[in-house]
Amino acid sequence: MRNLLYIAILSISLGSCGGGGSDPTPPPVVNTAPTVPTLALPVNNSLCTDNVLNFTWNASTDAEGGVITYEIQVAKNTSFSPVSHTQTSTTTSKSITLEKGIAYYWRVKATDSKNASSNYSSTFNLYTEGVGITNHLPFSPELVSPTLNEIVHGAPKILALTWTASDVDTSDILTYDVYFGTDKNNLSIVSSSQSAKTYSASLLASKNYYWKVTVKDNKGGQTVGQVWSFTTD
């Protein structure tokens, strides 16, 4: 009888310490940012006859199914400093009233309900038609290479600085003034009114270089680009 009592107590003890408990808590879901939006309208390099514009883009996706909010930025330069208009939307479009006769640049990013944001989209540009305007300024030059803040290896060497530029007046002839140096506040003009969108620069090792391009049309219009930089090792 004493043995049976011992076995019963042992069974209760094992039951209270062993398996049969609740399942382990699953690990928390890691939140990821939405995908980057793709711009749709106005198409890049548009000449817009109306200054009240409906900006549209393709929807982002969110792996966790969260609610997505979009932020659209519109600026008068490619560095978005300052930003002329910042608007948010839960849909893939937003109407914004712009000034007439101005070159604008716009981009969009997506943010989910847990505040995780995508990168900004690519940048589109447009020009709003002004009253009585017969010539439109060229768009600001866009950097091709070397990329912004790139480290260039193998100096001393000759490096091709390259860019692109466009104008809504497609018949305009564009030329370029190139400024280059190691002092960003005192760049020297190294080429004037060239037609090629490239310049061969002589580089030394262990230097910070800065450069910019002014694009000019054949009707007296010109647009000064932002200062770009790179470093040699």
Share of the chain above pLDDT 70, in %: 89
Query: What six digits make up the tokens of 146?
Result: 């070397």
Q: Please, which pLDDT band fits residue 49 given cuts at 50, 70 and 90?
A: confident
Domains of the chain by start residue, with CATH: 38-128 (2.60.40.10), 142-232 (2.60.40.10)
Helix (H) or strand (E) holding 12: helix 2-17
Residue 170 is classified by DSSP as T
C-alpha 214/C-alpha 83 separation (Å) is 22
State residue 16's pLDDT score. 47
Helix or strand (DSSP H, E) at 14: helix 2-17
CA–CA separation, 151 and 207 (whole Å): 10
Write down the number of H helices and E strands in the chain: 1, 17
Q: Give 191-227 pLDDT, tens digit per residue.
A: 999 999 999 999 999 999 999 999 999 999 999 999 9
Q: Residue 97: its pLDDT value, please?
A: 96
Q: Left if phi > 0, otherwise alpha if psi is -120 to 50, otherwise beta: which for 114?
A: alpha
| Section 159-183 average pLDDT | 96
> Full-prediction pTM beyond 0.85?
no
Give the chain's largest Cα–Cα span: 114
* pLDDT tens by residue, 84-135: 999 999 999 999 999 998 999 999 999 999 999 999 999 999 999 876 657 8
